[in-house]
Every structure is written in structure tokens, then in C-alpha cells.
């Protein structure tokens, strides 16, 4: 087990406060645990309005401290989800293995590690922090964010992303308060890097727009699938290797090579027309991602024989892949940590300190993601007055919202605490009636200002969801793509993708009562327990945080 000797803590008030800070690269964030429970968790992008920001998460940190009602001096441990020394050591081994082509990458790695250490010094200096600082491995943080937030006492854990601490993939087993690493796959052999490289090749922004590729893939055919299968080789050990002749990111800083271009054609220019070749390449990278993950998961099951699977890492946001892992492996139950990208490592490193290093028993499970800022009616009214916008106070906002949806109106739904993670789940959402066939195009072109092929998600009452989806499984965090039953697809055309699927959110009355009531009111009027839900933002911007952002 990866458990250090438990650290004894002397606290006058008997409370244990742990602050996790992700400042590793993109999607910076902060999370505060009090006695093992999450009290605040937010991404910096919502404060500085820069999507996938790399800025130090001062706004998120200050929010967490305020929400927790504490000062920095009350924080017992601050965790960072990286290990600079280990990262540099693995970088040196990479340098030796791929020399001389690796010298630029190794020089850059030194600067990266110095920068990370500098960020820790910046934090201590700015906040006057004098208590304990702990460095937790990047993938261990991902793994902890999934397992310790899950409802499982035992589970297999799969963490896949582009990379961190020079690892792209980690397979582990969690039991009680421990984590045992079973296998790691080092960079540059990275499924996340391959997906991001193809994202760049298709004219989208890598490390940001991978979801667009997932949405484009169902339009494509298997034209290039066999070619892509040759780019990722499976080993007898269960690991995989990427053909680095096609993906030289580890040497020259390019996402894809000239050899890739000779094989698959010229890359698409951003904002240019998308043709069948682009769709087919998107389909190929999506399929090989699913197949690689299935291989890893099946091997992980053989190692653990657990019925439960936890998923984290940026690739864990691939909801099509997740559904196949549930359907096509021996695992019976699944938990995908909703902030599976690097933002979630702030949560993970805090949970790792709490349980693995300190040995504290678990008393938390993640049932909802609304850990961000909230605003009073007075603050909302003041924002409206500053904009000279008329308003009225509603006795029953759920009923009025449903009535507006039925009339074909598009509703901005802003209530309660802000969600963490890339999915809006009914607190910072744009809503519409899914029965209107043209609603998808209206939202994509006139509201969200984004590509027309991109689908929208159905939010469905938890108790009615099985009636609409085959192979149903609860999906409270919108991280499973399920197949609509054939007789339901024409009923909800605005949330049915080209392949008959929907990235479903199942809504529980217990977890989000107001949002549940809105859908229930919509059902009373229409007989349909499904509405269209998309994040309250426009293309290229983060989800709104405040009333000012929403207006």
C-alpha cells in the first residue's frame, strides 16, 4: 500500500483542514476539505474568465478559504498534485533514452520543474503559510480523486490523461483508506497525447477541444480505423506503445509528424469546412481510444477481480468510452469523478493526504458537484439594476421555467452554488425544449456560436430515465453516452445525436431539488421528463460564475 506512517496532528479545535491546489499546468483549481469532507472546490477559470487557465488559482484559493470560514493559518496541510524531484528524475531517464533528439525537451523539463517549485514558494510567501506542504503524485492524485469520492469500499482505478510526473496512465486498486499502484505507463506513450494530436490535426485546440472530436466521430466511417490500430501497439503485459514516428511531441514539440500528414493528408485549417475525411479521422481516433481503454480495463479487472471501476484523468471525460467500459467489461459498477481533468487533482491530492498519508477513515462520497460560489437574491437584483434590466420575483420559478420552455423559449437557469467540472448540471445551465427539431441549430449558431455538428445533452428525471435509454445506468454527472430507445429518438430530436445517443444527465430530487422540480413541471405540461441542458456560456468562454457573467 502507498501509505506513509500516519502523522499525528494536534489541533485545538479538533478540525482537520486540508487545502489541495492544482497549479501544475492547465485547469488550475483549489479544493478545501474539512474533516475529510469537501466544503469548497472551484476552478480558477471561473474567476479570471480564461478557459482552461494556467494562472495560479488565487481566486479559487481565496474562495475556498472564505467558504470554509477559515484563514490560511487554520489550514493544516496544503497539497500539490505533482512531485518535482520525481518528475525531473523521470525526465532525465527520458532524456537518456531518446538522446540526442530529447535535449530540448529535457531543458524545458528543468524549467517546468523550477517553475513548479517557484509556484509553491509564491504561495507560501503571498499567503504567509507556515504549516505543512505535501507533494502527491499526479496520477495518484487523479486516482484518489476518483476512489475516495466514490461510494465503493473497494475498487479498481484507471487514470488516463496526456501525462503528469512523466506518466500517462496508472492502474491501481483502492481499498478502505489505501491505494495500491498496479501498473504505470510512461510518457511519451500516451493515449491522451494521441487524442490531443488528432484534435490539433483536425483544426481544433488541443487540450481543450477534444470533446468536439468525440462529438464529430459518430459522423465518420471506419475508413482509417485499421491504420490507427497500427499506431498503438498492445504488449503482452497489458500495456501499450504509441508509434512515435507519427506522434513526435516528446522530441520536437509538434503534435503530429510529416509522416502522419503523408499518411492521412493535410491538416484542417481552423474554422474551415469539415469534410468526410475529417469525420473519418475523428471516428478512427475515438474508436482506437475506446479499444485501448477496453484493453486496459479488462486487464485491470483480471488483476483486481473487483466489480467496481473508478475513472479519472482527462481522458476520463470521454463519455462514449466510459459507456463502453461499463457495457463491455466485467465491471458491474462505475464511478467517474466529474472533474476528471487536472482540475480534479486539487481534490485528489487533498483526499490522498487525508486518507492515505494520515490514515483517516472515509466519511465522504461525491453525490453532487455544486461546491462553488453562490449569490443571494439581493446580489442578483443589484446586478440586474446595474444593467437596467427589469425583473420580477417568482413564487414558483420551476413552473415558470417549464412554461417558457414549452413556448419555445431558451432559458438561462442560474441558481445555487456553481458546479465544478466541465459539465453544467442544472445550476449554471442554458435550457430548451428537446422536442423541437430545429432547436439544436438555433442554440449552436445563435446562442452558443459554435460548430453545428455538436450535440446537446438530455437532462432526464432519474425515475424515468430507464424508459428512454437502453442499457441504462445512472449518469448524474453527464459522463456516460447512452443509446436512446428507438421509439424515443423522434420524441426528443434536439438531444438525440446522429448515432441515436445522448450524453445523459439523470437528475435526482434529493441532489438538486429545484432543477428536478423544473423538469417535473415540464413533464406535467408535456408528458415528457426530458429537457435540453447545455452549459451557461458561449464558445471559448468558461461557464458563468456570477450574475454579472450571466448577464
pTM score: 0.94
Same domain for 135 and 159, yes or no, is no
Interior CA angle at 439 toward 436 and 444, to 5°? 165
Contact 350, 31 (CB under 8 A): yes
- Give 39-56 as a DSSP string: EEEEETHHHH--TT--S-
Task: Please confirm whether the linkage preceding 100 is cis (ω < 30° from 0).
Answer: yes
Average pLDDT, the chain: 93
Q: What is the pLDDT of residue 10?
A: 40
Residue 91 pLDDT > 90, yes or no?
A: no
CA 40 to chain CA mean position, Å: 17
- 494 located within any domain: yes
pLDDT tens across 532-542, in order? 999 999 999 99
Sign of CA dihedral 145, 148, 151, 156: positive
Residue 86 pLDDT > 80, yes or no?
A: no
Distance CA 150, CA 205 (A): 31
Residue 4 pLDDT > 90, yes or no?
A: no
For residue 406, the domain's CATH number is 3.90.870.20
Same domain for 192 and 303, yes or no, is yes
Same domain for 510 and 419, yes or no, is yes
Q: What is the pLDDT of residue 97?
A: 59
- 224 located within any domain: yes
Q: Which residue has the cell 479498481?
A: 156
Interior CA angle at 343 toward 535 and 339, to 5°? 55
For residue 203, the domain's CATH number is 3.30.420.40
Catalytic position from the list 26, 94, 250, 278? 26
Strand partners, 232: 242
Residue 24 pLDDT > 90, yes or no?
A: no
Same domain for 505 and 478, yes or no, is yes
pLDDT confidence band for 87 (50 / 70 / 90): low
- 146 located within any domain: no
Same domain for 350 and 326, yes or no, is no
* Mean pLDDT for the stretch of residues 109-125: 81
Last residue of one domain, picked from the residues 324, 357, 390: 357
Distance CA 194, CA 282 (A): 12
Same domain for 126 and 201, yes or no, is no
Distance CA 88, CA 106 (A): 9
Same domain for 444 and 475, yes or no, is yes
DSSP label of 177: T
pLDDT tens across 381-393, in order? 999 999 999 999 9
3-state secondary structure of 63: helix
Interior CA angle at 160 toward 424 and 300, to 5°? 120
pLDDT tens across 40-65, in order? 999 999 999 999 999 999 999 999 99
Residue 346 pLDDT > 80, yes or no?
A: yes
Last residue of one domain, picked from the residues 323, 357, 391: 357
Last residue of one domain, picked from the residues 357, 388, 419: 357
Q: What is the pLDDT of residue 385?
A: 96
For 97, 129, 399, the CA distances from 532, given in Å and listed in that order, are 50, 45, 16
Q: Give the contacts of 170 (CB within 8 A, at least 6 positions apart).
A: 139, 140, 142, 143, 157, 158, 159, 181, 183, 184, 185, 313
* Mean pLDDT for the stretch of residues 98-103: 56
Other beta carbons within 10 Å of 446: 9
Looking at per-residue pLDDT, the higher value among 20 and 89 belongs to 20
* Mean pLDDT for the stretch of residues 369-377: 97
The grid coordinates of residue 399 equal 413552473
Residue 13 pLDDT > 50, yes or no?
A: no
Q: What is the pLDDT of residue 105?
A: 60
pLDDT tens across 423-463, in order? 999 999 999 999 999 999 999 999 999 999 999 999 999 99
Distance CA 383, CA 122 (A): 34
Please name which of 363, 362, 351, 304 lies closest in space to residue 176, comparing C-alpha atoms: 362
Same domain for 105 and 250, yes or no, is no
Interhelix angle 103-127/84-98, nearest 10 degrees:
170
Q: Give the contacts of 122 (CB within 8 A, at least 6 positions apart).
A: 56
Query: Would you call 26 a catalytic residue per the annotation?
Result: yes
* Mean pLDDT for the stretch of residues 342-365: 98
Q: What is the pLDDT of residue 163?
A: 84
Contact 371, 417 (CB under 8 A): yes
- 8 located within any domain: no
- 164 located within any domain: yes
Residue 11 pLDDT > 50, yes or no?
A: no
Residue 5 pLDDT > 50, yes or no?
A: no
Q: What is the pLDDT of residue 8?
A: 43
Three-class HEC string of 90-135: HHHHHHHHHCCCCHHHHHHHHHHHHHHHHHHHHHHHHHCCCCEEEE
Other beta carbons within 10 Å of 393: 7
Q: What is the pLDDT of residue 145?
A: 98
Same domain for 330 and 386, yes or no, is no
Counting residues of the chain whose pLDDT is more than 90, the rounded percentage is: 86
Count of the separate structural domains present in the chain: 3
What residues make up the domain containing 546? 377-550
Q: What is the pLDDT of residue 83?
A: 85
Task: Please confirm whether the linkage preceding 50 is cis (ω < 30° from 0).
Answer: no
Same domain for 104 and 131, yes or no, is yes
pLDDT tens across 459-508, in order? 999 999 999 999 999 999 999 999 999 999 999 999 999 999 999 999 99
Same domain for 487 and 403, yes or no, is yes
- 426 located within any domain: yes
Residue 85 pLDDT > 90, yes or no?
A: no
Q: What is the pLDDT of residue 14?
A: 58
Residue 79 pLDDT > 70, yes or no?
A: yes
- 9 located within any domain: no
Q: What is the pLDDT of residue 352?
A: 98
Contact 139, 352 (CB under 8 A): no
* Mean pLDDT for the stretch of residues 138-142: 97
Q: Which residue has the cell 531543458?
A: 107
- 10 located within any domain: no
pLDDT tens across 301-320, in order? 999 999 999 999 999 999 99
Same domain for 208 and 260, yes or no, is yes
The grid coordinates of residue 343 equal 482540475
Amino acid at each position: 500500500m502507498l501509505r506513509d506512517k500516519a502523522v499525528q496532528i494536534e489541533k485545538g479545535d479538533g478540525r482537520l483542514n486540508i487545502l489541495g491546489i492544482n497549479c501544475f499546468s492547465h485547469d488550475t483549481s483549489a479544493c478545501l476539505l474539512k474533516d475529510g469532507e469537501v466544503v469548497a472546490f472551484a476552478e480558477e477559470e471561473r474567476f479570471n474568465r480564461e478557459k482552461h487557465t494556467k494562472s495560479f488559482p488565487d481566486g479559487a484559493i481565496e474562495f475556498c478559504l472564505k467558504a470554509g470560514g477559515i484563514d490560511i493559518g487554520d489550514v493544516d496541510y496544503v497539497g500539490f498534485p505533482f512531485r518535482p524531484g520525481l518528475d525531473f528524475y523521470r525526465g532525465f531517464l527520458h532524456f537518456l533514452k531518446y538522446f540526442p533528439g530529447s535535449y530540448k525537451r529535457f531543458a524545458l523539463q528543468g524549467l517546468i520543474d523550477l517553475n513548479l517549485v517557484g509556484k509553491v514558494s509564491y504561495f507560501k510567501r503571498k499567503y504567509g503559510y507556515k504549516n505543512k506542504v505535501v507533494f502527491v503524485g499526479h496520477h495518484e492524485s487523479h486516482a484518489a480523486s476518483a476512489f475516495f469520492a466514490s461510494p465503493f469500499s473497494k475498487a479498481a482505478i484507471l487514470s488516463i490523461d496526456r501525462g503528469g510526473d512523466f506518466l500517462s496512465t496508472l492502474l491501481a486498486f483502492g481499498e478502505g483508506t489505501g491505494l495500491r499502484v498496479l501498473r504505470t505507463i510512461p510518457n511519451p506513450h500516451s493515449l491522451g497525447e494521441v487524442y490531443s494530436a488528432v484534435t490539433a490535426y483536425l483544426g481544433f485546440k488541443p487540450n481543450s477541444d477534444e470533446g468536439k472530436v468525440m462529438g464529430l466521430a459518430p459522423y465518420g466511417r471506419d475508413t482509417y480505423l485499421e491504420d490507427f490500430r497500427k499506431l498503438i501497439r498492445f504488449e503482452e503485459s497489458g500495456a501499450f506503445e504509441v508509434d512515435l514516428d507519427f506522434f513526435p511531441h516528446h522530441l520536437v514539440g509538434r503534435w503530429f509528424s510529416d509522416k502522419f500528414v503523408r499518411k492521412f493528408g493535410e491538416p484542417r485549417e481552423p474554422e474551415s469546412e469539415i469534410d468526410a475525411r475529417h469525420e473519418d479521422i475523428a471516428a478512427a481516433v475515438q474508436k482506437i481510444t475506446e479499444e485501448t481503454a477496453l484493453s486496459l480495463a479488462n486487464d485491470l479487472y483480471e488483476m483486481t477481480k473487483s466489480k467496481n471501476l473508478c475513472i479519472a484523468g482527462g481522458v476520463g471525460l470521454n463519455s462514449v468510452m466510459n459507456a463502453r467500459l461499463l457495457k463491455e467489461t466485467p465491471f458491474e459498477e462505475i464511478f467517474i469523478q466529474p472533474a476528471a481533468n487536472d482540475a480534479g487533482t486539487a481534490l485528489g491530492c487533498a483526499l490522498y493526504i487525508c486518507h492515505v498519508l494520515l490514515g483517516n477513515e472515509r466519511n465522504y462520497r461525491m453525490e453532487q458537484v455544486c461546491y462553488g460560489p453562490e449569490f443571494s437574491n439581493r446580489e442578483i437584483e443589484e446586478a440586474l439594476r446595474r444593467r437596467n434590466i427589469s425583473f420580477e420575483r417568482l413564487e414558483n420559478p420551476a413552473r415558470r421555467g417549464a412554461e417558457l420552455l414549452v413556448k419555445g423559449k431558451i432559458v438561462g437557469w442560474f441558481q445555487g452554488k456553481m458546479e465544478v467540472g466541465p459539465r453544467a448540471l442544472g445550476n449554471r445551465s442554458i435550457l430548451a425544449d428537446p422536442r423541437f427539431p430545429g432547436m439544436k441549430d438555433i442554440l449552436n449558431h445563435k446562442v452558443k456560436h459554435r460548430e453545428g455538428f455538436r450535440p446537446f445533452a438530455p437532462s432526464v428525471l432519474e425515475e424515468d430515465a430507464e424508459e428512454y435509454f437502453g442499457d441504462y445506468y445512472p449518469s448524474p454527472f453527464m459522463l456516460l453516452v447512452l443509446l436512446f430507445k428507438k421509439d424515443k429518438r423522434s420524441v426528443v430530436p434536439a438531444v438525440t445525436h446522429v448515432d441515436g445517443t445522448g450524453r445523459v444527465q439523470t437528475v435526482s430530487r434529493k441532489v438538486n431539488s429545484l432543477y428536478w422540480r423544473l423538469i417535473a413541471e415540464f413533464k406535467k405540461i408535456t408528458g415528457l421528463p426530458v429537457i435540453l441542458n447545455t452549459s451557461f456560456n458561449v464558445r471559448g468562454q468558461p461557464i458563468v460564475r456570477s450574475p454579472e457573467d450571466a448577464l
